[in-house]
Structure 1
């Protein structure tokens, strides 16, 4: 199992509109292809204006296949157009669970 952490630093003042576009346009496409997310988060303390999502995959091959299907979905470009200019920085990390992690 691997965990994909996606951290988006959102343009100041755009977190609300970003989350609204994501919930209505992006999330349905992702759920269709990636399955249910582990979770979604916004920052409350520390560096603000971040939206973080986490997705669980069996392995890199499954992740690649799922993401390829998602990127090829005809509804995905509408989401990308809706959030254009809202993201300053995007960081993606793939996390592998430690042997004692409850998420395995």
Structure 2
């Protein structure tokens, strides 16, 4: 198989203070989801943890490349609705830490398709 091009995955793991995960996700669903998906499209995955650190969740966003990611994220960061959500999230104080990894698929596994746009 040839090498794949045109795919960058942004894998993000967030950890909430114990007992606040559901509150954090409810705040995001109400105030952040629409703005984020308007700019980034639908995530490849958005998952809560069943085992291990049950105060954490993961989401994965797909981009064509680093330039596509930078363009979409810059537009999101300039969106007043997203800015308002970030302020609400910071004020709530539910998040303890965040880890981001930019990843590319290996060439021998079939490519996932973008879920959304």
5+ long unaligned stretches in structure 1: none
The separation in 2 between residues aligned to 1:47 and 1:36, in whole angstroms, is 25
Q: Equivalent residue for 1:20?
A: 26
- Give 1:24 deviation, angstroms: 1.5
Q: Equivalent residue for 1:94?
A: 102
- TM-score, L = length of structure 2: 0.84
CA RMSD of aligned residues (A): 1.1
- 1:48-74 deviation digits (Å, cap 9, x = unpaired): 200111100000000000000000001
- Give 1:44 deviation, angstroms: 1.0
Q: Once superposed, which parts of structure 1, at least 4 consecutive aligned residues long, lie more than 6 Å away?
A: none
- 1:15-53 deviation digits (Å, cap 9, x = unpaired): 011111111211111111001111111111112200111
Q: Equivalent residue for 2:3?
A: none
Q: Equivalent residue for 1:6?
A: 12
Q: How does 1:39-50 map to 2 (within 5 A)?
A: 39-50=45-56
The separation in 2 between residues aligned to 1:77 and 1:71, in whole angstroms, is 7
The separation in 2 between residues aligned to 1:79 and 1:103, in whole angstroms, is 33
Q: Equivalent residue for 2:59?
A: 53
Q: How does 1:63-82 map to 2 (within 5 A)?
A: 63-82=69-88
Q: Greater Rg, structure 1 or structure 2? A: 2
The separation in 1 between residues aligned to 2:15 and 2:96, in whole angstroms, is 6
Q: Number of paired residues?
A: 104
